[in-house]
């Protein structure tokens, strides 16, 4: 069974609002490029899908004025083979390699995991809650931004865990830019 | 100026205790104790909220003398007895307490006065309510957050009532064998 990797950027107080976090620094892009290369499927909720698409395909189409690492990420991101969007409301998807899951969430994700291939990459706030409650995430990657947001939507508030969830630390990496990557697997 | 340094154990999802005050998920061991000792060696004052102070006062003055006291018990007990204690409380009196100052108001003035005195660092252990007041006023100079590898789901949040976005500088991220990560931030 292949791995489902969850990844998100957070402030120190767990705020997941990407507008409060700002764009990743150059050294962090390298990490995301590597992570994206390790997968062949993106599993996104509607909101994350709408943040990433058509933003990154557009960067690739009009790379002028974009940072080098940003273009590199766009290349790797747009080369991911499968896009799976979980949504009850999304009308349609433009990308030829994208499809929408509207029901049977757990069975669909289990089928994805059972299929051969590289890692499945996921993110977002609601998906984290659903996937965590179902115990489907194999690895969590949190990138901690060096700020306390104060107000803002905390990832953890919507997690709705039925019980404690102990994890096992597999990596802690500090970036020059002040971000810290914390990688955990289910213990 | 002396630095006010905040030490706190937290869950990955930012709780300092479970919904009923549970703290049994906090991982501490020799490696962490020895590391913290390198910090307390550079501090000559401890700051607590009233509740944490009462907990500390009920244990540390004599912990080093108890039969079966560990290396950490002996070391930290000696440190506790030696350092100046600063307690944030509106109800407590410092009468009869040795080497202890109670601050009941005008936090910024009082804390800055202490920070401006000669001396080594001042450490806040635990004391989430007191720390939140100090954080909100921008009085904390350094943070050591000991992030435990667990999602609690619910409990007492570490960061509450902070109005403004606060940028920090990462000084260090230190990994312990037990899976705890210590994140060291300083004020920008």
ipTM, two decimals: 0.91
Measuring CA to CA, which residue among B169, B171, B118 is closest to residue B1? B118
Count of C-beta atoms within a 10 Å radius of residue B142: 19
Q: Give B154 to chain A, closest Cα distance, Å.
A: 8
pLDDT of the residue at B162: 76
Which three-class secondary structure state does DSSP give residue B184?
strand
A156 Cβ contact list (under 8 Å, min separation 6): A14, B13, B14, B151
Say which DSSP state A164 is in: -
Of A13, A142, A180, the CB nearest to B173: A180
Q: Which residues of B touch A178 (CB under 8 A)?
A: 169-170
Q: What is the pLDDT of residue A110?
A: 97
B165, A150: Cβ pair inside 8 Å? yes
Residues A163 and A121: beta-carbon distance below 8 Å: no
The pLDDT of residue A141 is: 98
Q: With an 8 Å Cβ cutoff, is A146 touching chain B?
A: yes
**Residue A150: its chain B contacts at CB < 8 A?**
159, 162-166
Distance (Å) from the C-alpha of residue B167 to the closest C-alpha of chain A? 4
Of A142, A159, A187, Cβ closest to residue B153: A159
Question: Above 90 in pLDDT, residue A152?
Answer: no
pLDDT at position A21 over 90: no
Residue A160, pLDDT > 90, answer no
Handedness of CA B107, B110, B116, B120 (dihedral sign): negative
Which pLDDT belongs to residue B168? 94
pLDDT higher than threshold 90 for residue A22: no
- The reported pLDDT for the residue numbered A150 is 85
Gap between the Cα atoms of A138 and A131, Å rounded: 10
DSSP designation for A15: B
Residue A54, preceding peptide bond in cis (omega within 30° of 0): yes
Question: B112: which 2 tokens?
Answer: 């800055």
Percent of chain A with pLDDT over 70: 100
Q: Does A117 touch chain B (CB under 8 A)?
A: no
Write down the residue that tokens 């990688």 correspond to.
A183
Specify the pLDDT at position A25.
86
**Residues near B98 by beta carbon (within 8 Å), at least 6 away in sequence:** none
Q: What is the mean pLDDT of each run of 10 residues along chain B (188 residues)?
A: 95 94 95 96 96 94 95 95 96 91 95 96 91 89 97 90 86 98 96
pLDDT reported for residue B126? 85
pLDDT value of position A54: 95
Nearest chain A residue (CA) to B164: A150
Please check the confidence at residue A135 and state whether its pLDDT lies above 90: yes
Is A103 a residue whose pLDDT tops 90? yes
CA-nearest residue to A148 within chain B is: B166
Q: For residue A70, give both structure tokens.
A: 């940003």
pLDDT at A6: 97
Give the pLDDT of residue B94.
87
**Assigned token pair, B111:** 């804390």
Per residue in A31-81, pLDDT (tens digit) is: 999 999 999 999 999 999 999 999 999 999 999 999 999 999 999 999 999
- A20, pLDDT greater than 90: no
Closest residue to A172, CB basis, from B152, B154, B175? B175
Contacts of residue B153 in chain A, CB cutoff 8 Å?
159-165
């Amino acid at each position: 069974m292949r791995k489902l990797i969850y990844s998100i950027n957070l402030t120190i107080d767990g705020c997941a609002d990407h507008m409060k976090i700002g764009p990743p620094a150059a050294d962090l892009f390298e990490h995301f490029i590597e992570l994206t290369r390790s997968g062949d499927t993106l599993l996104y909720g509607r909101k994350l899908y709408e943040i990433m698409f058509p933003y990154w395909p557009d960067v690739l189409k009009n790379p002028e004025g974009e940072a080098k690492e940003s273009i590199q990420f766009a290349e790797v991101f747009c080369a991911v083979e499968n896009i799976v969007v979980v949504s009850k409301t999304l009308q349609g998807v433009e990308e030829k390699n994208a499809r929408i899951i509207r029901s049977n969430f757990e069975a669909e994700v289990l089928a994805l995991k059972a299929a051969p291939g590289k890692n499945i990459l996921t993110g977002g706030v609601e998906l984290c809650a659903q996937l965590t409650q179902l115990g489907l995430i194999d690895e969590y990657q949190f990138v901690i931004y060096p700020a306390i947001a104060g107000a803002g939507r905390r990832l953890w508030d919507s997690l709705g865990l039925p019980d404690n969830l102990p994890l096992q630390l597999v990596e802690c990496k500090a970036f020059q830019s002040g971000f810290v990557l914390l990688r955990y697997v289910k213990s | 100026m002396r630095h006010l340094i905040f030490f706190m154990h937290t869950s990955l999802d930012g709780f300092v205790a479970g919904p009923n005050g549970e703290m049994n998920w906090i991982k501490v061991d020799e490696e962490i104790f020895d590391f913290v000792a390198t910090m307390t060696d550079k501090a000559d004052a401890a700051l607590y909220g009233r509740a944490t102070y009462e907990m500390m006062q009920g244990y540390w003055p004599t912990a080093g003398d108890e039969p079966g006291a560990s290396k950490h018990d002996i070391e930290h007990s000696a440190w506790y007895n030696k350092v100046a204690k600063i307690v944030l409380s509106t109800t407590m009196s410092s009468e009869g307490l040795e080497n202890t100052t109670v601050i009941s108001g005008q936090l910024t003035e009082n804390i800055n006065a202490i920070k401006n005195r000669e001396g080594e660092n001042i450490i806040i252990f635990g004391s989430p309510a007191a720390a939140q007041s100090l954080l909100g006023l921008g009085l904390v100079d350094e943070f050591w957050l000991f992030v435990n590898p667990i999602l609690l789901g619910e409990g007492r949040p570490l960061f509450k009532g902070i109005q403004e976005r606060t940028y920090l500088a990462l000084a260090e991220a230190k990994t312990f064998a037990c899976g705890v990560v210590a994140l060291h931030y300083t004020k920008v």
